[in-house]
Amino acid sequence: MEEKRVKIIKEGGVAHLVIESPATLNALDNLLIEQLLDVVDSVEKDNEIVVLIISGSGKAFVAGADIKAMSKMDPNEAAQFGMKGATLFRKIEQLPQPVIAAINGYALGGGCELALACDIRIASSKAKMGQPEVTLGITPGFSATVRLPKVVGVAKAKELIYTGKVIGSQEALEIGLLNEVVEPEELLNRAREIAAAIAKNSPVAVRFSKEAINIGGSLSIDDAIRLENNYFSLSFAYSDQREGMEAFIEKREANFKIG
């Protein structure tokens, strides 16, 4: 029987995905990636989940990919492994729900790439982040060369990837890799606070906003403006728009429908 390494807890409109392989610092291997793909697919189909939090158990968020397993791969096996991880992270990036990475410890290589696929990244003051693949004689394999430049800028991304430098959470915050840094004991509560602040808003409007940002980023400015206008006008076809505006006029809390 396969060891279950992923747990998901749902409370209200917020789901918490926990990677539970602390003996390997939650290192990504084929089995863990496959289990994560299954859970992410279930989250995508669950209309009652408005926000997803991802965290790791033990001392790491995800310390990286499984180096012992990779050391035995040939180029074809490496290509399949890299594409499997990249597919997982693309699915996370494209989830209709906002995703919050709660980074408690090491987020290196594949762990940093997982965080990059999330919408919001908060970390413990003890977290360590980086893309040290070149120190192992390989390039990043799970899309760091694609996402990291968009988050921290091309020059800083090249510096981090070329040097393999591992940085602390404060430096990660300063370069825009993180949204926020908190003390370790506050991390999950803070992630839940952010998730709750998102979940109380219109699920339709939040999802449309995420799609407009993600898709619009690869379009020309004029096309991105038209895309936003499409989502803006489409939101008026949903009951959330009427509820939200009526609540504002009536000076009460909006009661948006989940699911």
* CATH number of the CATH domain containing 129: 3.90.226.10
215 and 236 together in one domain: yes
192 and 221 together in one domain: no
217 and 170 together in one domain: no
Pick the catalytic residue: 133, 193, 211, 228? 133
* Three-state secondary structure call for residue 97: coil
Decide if 19 contacts 6 (C-beta within 8 A): yes
**Average predicted confidence (pLDDT) for the chain:** 96
Quick one: pLDDT at residue 164? 98
Residue 69 structural domain: 6-199
Cα–Cα distance, 144 to 147 (Å, whole number): 5
> Residue 189: in which H helix or E strand, if any?
helix 187-199
Decide if 172 contacts 127 (C-beta within 8 A): yes
pLDDT higher than 90, residue 1: no
The answer to whether residue 135 is domain-embedded is: yes
149 and 43 together in one domain: yes
- To 10 degrees, the CA torsion angle through 172, 93, 140, 150? -50
Quick one: pLDDT at residue 12? 86
50 and 110 together in one domain: yes
Q: How many domains does the chain have?
A: 2
40 and 164 together in one domain: yes
193 and 210 together in one domain: no
pLDDT one-digit tens code per residue, 119-176: 999 999 999 999 999 999 999 999 999 999 999 999 999 999 999 999 999 999 999 9
The answer to whether residue 91 is domain-embedded is: yes
Last-in-domain residue among 173, 199, 225: 199
pLDDT higher than 80, residue 209: yes
Quick one: pLDDT at residue 259? 64
89 and 11 together in one domain: yes
The encoded tokens of residue 167 equal: 């940085």
124 and 214 together in one domain: no
The answer to whether residue 191 is domain-embedded is: yes
Q: Does residue 113 have an active-site annotation?
A: yes
| Amino acid of residue 108 | L
Quick one: pLDDT at residue 145? 98
Quick one: pLDDT at residue 52? 98
In the chain, what percentage of residues exceed pLDDT 90? Answer: 96
193 and 232 together in one domain: no
Q: Does residue 44 have an active-site annotation?
A: no
40 and 89 together in one domain: yes
Pick the catalytic residue: 3, 11, 34, 113? 113
Q: Is the pTM of this model over 0.85?
A: yes
Mean pLDDT confidence for 23-40: 96
pLDDT one-digit tens code per residue, 180-193: 999 999 999 999 99
What is the β-pairing status of strands 166-168 and 128-130? Answer: antiparallel
Q: Which residue has the tokens 């939090």?
A: 53
Q: Which residue has the tokens 């290192």?
A: 27
Cα–Cα distance, 114 to 92 (Å, whole number): 8
Phi, psi of 78 (to 5 degrees): -65, -40
129 and 208 together in one domain: no
3-state secondary structure 115-179: HHHCCEEEEECCCEEECCHHHHCCCCCCCHHHHHHHHHCHHHHHHHHHHCCEEEHHHHHHCCCCC
Cα–Cα distance, 122 to 169 (Å, whole number): 9
Quick one: pLDDT at residue 3? 82
Cα–Cα distance, 18 to 1 (Å, whole number): 20
